Copies of this chain bind each other. A is one copy, B any other.
Amino acid sequence: MSGLQLYNTYTRQTEAFRPIHDNIVGLYICGPTVYGPPHLGHVRGPVVFDVLRRYLEFQGFKVRHVRNITDVGHLVGDGDEGEDKLSKQARLEQLEPMEIAQTYTVAYNEMSRRMNVLPPNIEPRASGHIIEQIEMIEAIVNAGLAYKANGSVYFDVLAYAKSHDYGKLSGRILDDLIAGAGNEARELEGQDEKRNPNDFALWKKAAPEHIMQWSSPWGKGYPGWHIECSAMSRKYLGDVFDIHGGGMDLLFPHHESEIAQSTACTGHNPARFWVHHNMITINGQKMAKSLNNGIQVEELFSGNHALLEQAYSPMTLRFFILQAHYRGTLDFSNEALQAAEKGLQRLWNAAETAKKLPVSENSEYNITDIHEACLKSMNDDLNTPQVIAQLFEAARVSNSAADGKIKLDQVNIHALNELFDTWMVSILGIQPEKEGNDSALDGVMQMLLQMRAQAKADKNYALSDEIRNKLTALGFVIKDGKEGSSWSI
């Protein structure tokens, strides 16, 4: 019993999370289609589900986290028409599609590494699981819920809907879909092969010049977009697993199709919990090519974009994301990012302060209360903004204790330090950004602060002021306290 209450998109209810197997949680997250550099639309999912995973692991579960790489089959427009995104980009860059996939897989993983997102336990590629997809399609055909047409295979939505609740996850009503799809049916290529415009491709016949194609019982072709996740989640997590996650934009058609495919094949909705994070906006608007507000993650980290007033670090970005609840929208703006940067710095400073607090005989604050409040917030459908609010309360206590306004005993000082370690670092996954020449820098700074203290003691104020002024000019913040001086950048 974990105490975790999680909102299940499928049931539209917040439910108590209990894993299928005692101690193991199967977690499948839809990963990126690797045909371009990671942009702000890519950052939220990895961070949100990383925190879910970290929290489950904190609770003692072993998590098998599977996140796929879509390197084939994802067509432009998310329907069954148009070019494969990978092939199209490959043609533009005049490269083998797998070079595109490799380049942007590396870029995506590098982004994840910098944002301290734990690598998934298994990272399957769609192109590496063609056999598994073919076998699943065969099973759906044998169940009478898919049909062949001209070398392609389509899922028969109407046949499926006769005995299943098609549209339950996404809240779509089939009759509305049919009415809406009528007009485009004749205009789009491949639609004439379908019995119904809402049918979706499981396997697409490839033209001879198509680069990515494989042999199948239906001739040379490539898999549809949706079947990859059904085949790969099943292979590595079983017919039914605990949690399937993704962005809300994947609700329809992707996740709705996954449920239909798995149900047709195994008789089961593959996931107990369907968990969706909301989308991002930029200055209140959707990110879109036409609005010219598409910001790549690298641009955010370097500050190199017309909409950005400065660079924002990976940890600022991570903290910013977690300051919003995952089911609410997240709006990027310079003001909001700068506020996150400041807030995070305040937390780090307080965490540093907590390391050298004066010890009192007794305690005027019970730090366990904050820990309990954090647990309660996380159990409340991963309410990370509330957890962060609790961390700011801990920062207030830390600073007040340093100023002598609150007394803390040894036990509570220890608990305060542990609180930052557990919740900031382990569960929220916020790590100090400093790397590399850290210890050398700290060594020199300690030396300078000692020189300054000595100069003060010697009443050599010219020297002590000179050191302080020069350091300030270099961007250092020097903080004098009872226990000596400390520095930060």
Interface residues of A (CB under 8 A from B): 64, 96, 98-99, 102-103, 106, 119-125, 127-131, 135, 214-215, 236, 433-438, 440-441, 443-445, 447-448, 451, 463, 466-467, 470-471, 474-476, 489
Asked if B489 and A470 sit within 8 Å, CB to CB, the answer is no
Closest to A474 in B: B443
Identical copies in the complex: 2
For the complex of A and B, the 5 pairs showing the least CB-CB separation, nearest first, are A128-B128, A436-B436, A435-B436, A443-B474, A441-B441
In the assembled complex, the CB of A34 is this many whole angstroms from the nearest CB of chain B, namely 12
Closest to A467 in B: B451
A135 to B220, CA, bound (A): 13
A131 to B129, CA, bound (A): 10
Asked if B470 and A447 sit within 8 Å, CB to CB, the answer is yes
Contacting residues, chain B, for A102 (C-beta < 8 A): 119-123
Contacting residues, chain B, for A447 (C-beta < 8 A): 470-471, 474
Given contacts A64-B96, A437-B438, A443-B474, 10 further A-B pairs with CB under 8 A are A98-B236, A102-B120, A433-B436, A435-B436, A435-B437, A436-B437, A440-B441, A441-B444, A447-B471, A463-B463
Asked if B438 and A214 sit within 8 Å, CB to CB, the answer is no
Contacting residues, chain B, for A443 (C-beta < 8 A): 474-475
Contacting residues, chain B, for A476 (C-beta < 8 A): 440, 444
A440-B475, A448-B448 given; A99·B121 CB < 8 A: yes
In the assembled complex, the CB of A21 is this many whole angstroms from the nearest CB of chain B, namely 13
Contacting residues, chain B, for A451 (C-beta < 8 A): 466-467, 470
Asked if A474 and B444 sit within 8 Å, CB to CB, the answer is yes
A102 to B67, CA, bound (A): 11
Asked if B128 and A440 sit within 8 Å, CB to CB, the answer is no
In the assembled complex, the CB of A337 is this many whole angstroms from the nearest CB of chain B, namely 21
